[in-house]
């Protein structure tokens, strides 16, 4: 495997692992603050990111590289509101998308079409996850400070959490 691509994929392992811990911290915050639906949603998303990480680890090793299991950043654990939580969710996904696009760009530069092909799965995942984060943030912006709205949002998001669970 081309060393530069291997390094980029190992960086991606770290981004996915950090996202998994970040979402676990979000799930825990929501759990403690009584948002059971939101908490299930982020528990499921944390699991999904772990799957994203593991797929990369296996791919690197299968292709003759060496996967590096990284030390992780301490995740943010305190959130001001549901809006704050979902703004973080969206910016985390946008960040991961940028990094994936960087890997794809270098795959094409190095004519590494195998890795390019493998990464297409991540491109589709990111499209879906970013769209989901934007939709939820739009809903929260409509709801504003209305507590009944937050209650209903938390109840409705259970559906997304269940759909995500089916994916992992």
Question: How many chain residues bind ligand FEO (CB under 6 A)?
Answer: 9
Q: Compose the 85-124 pattern: x for residues touching ligand FEO by CB under 6 A, - for all others.
A: --------x--x----------------------------
Using the rule CB under 6 A, is 49 a contact of ligand FEO?
yes
Contact in structure between 65 and 9 (CB atoms under 8 Å): yes
Reference 22, options 103, 76, 93; nearest CA is 76
d(CA 37, CA 43): 10
Of 5 and 19, nearer to ligand FEO (C-beta) is 19
Pair 82, 150: CB distance under 8 Å: yes
| DSSP at 77 | -
Of all residues in the shown chain, the one whose CB is closest to ligand FEO is 52
The CB-of-53 to ligand FEO minimum distance in angstroms stands at: 8
Is the four-CA dihedral 96, 83, 32, 129 of positive or negative sign? negative
- Applying CB under 6 A, does 82 fall inside the site for ligand FEO? no
Degrees, nearest 5: CA angle 108-124-54: 85
Q: Which is nearer to ligand FEO, 155 or 167 (CB)?
A: 167
Does position 47 bind ligand FEO by CB under 6 A? Answer: no
Among 8, 14, 16, 24, binds ligand FEO (CB under 6 A): 16
Give just the sign of the alpha carbon dihedral 124, 83, 33, 74.
Answer: positive
Q: Is 44 an interacting residue with respect to ligand FEO (CB under 6 A)?
A: no
User: Smallest gap, in angstroms, from Cβ of residue 19 to ligand FEO?
Assistant: 5
Residue of 19, 25, 26, 133 interacting with ligand FEO (CB under 6 A) = 19
Compute CA 78 distance to the chain's CA centroid, rounded to the nearest angstrom.
18
How far apart CA 158 and CA 164 sit, in angstroms, is 10
Judged by the rule CB under 6 A, the positions of this chain that interact with ligand FEO are: 16, 19, 49, 52, 93, 96, 125-126, 129
């Amino acid at each position: 495997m081309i060393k530069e691509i291997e390094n980029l994929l190992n960086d991606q392992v770290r981004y996915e692992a950090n996202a998994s811990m970040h979402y676990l911290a979000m799930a825990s915050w929501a759990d403690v603050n009584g948002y059971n639906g939101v908490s299930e949603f982020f528990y499921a998303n944390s699991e999904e990111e772990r799957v994203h990480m593991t797929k990369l680890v296996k791919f690197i090793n299968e292709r003759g590289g060496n996967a590096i299991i990284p030390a992780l950043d301490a995740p943010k654990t305190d959130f001001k509101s549901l809006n704050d939580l979902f703004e973080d969710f969206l910016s985390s996904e946008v960040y991961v998308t940028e990094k994936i696009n960087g890997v794809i760009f270098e795959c094409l530069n190095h004519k590494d079409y195998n890795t390019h092909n493998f990464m297409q799965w991540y491109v589709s995942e990111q499209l879906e996850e970013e769209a989901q984060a934007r939709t939820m943030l739009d809903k929260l912006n409509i709801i504003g400070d209305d507590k009944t709205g937050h209650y209903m949002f938390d109840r409705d998001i259970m559906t997304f959490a269940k759909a995500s669970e089916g994916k992992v």
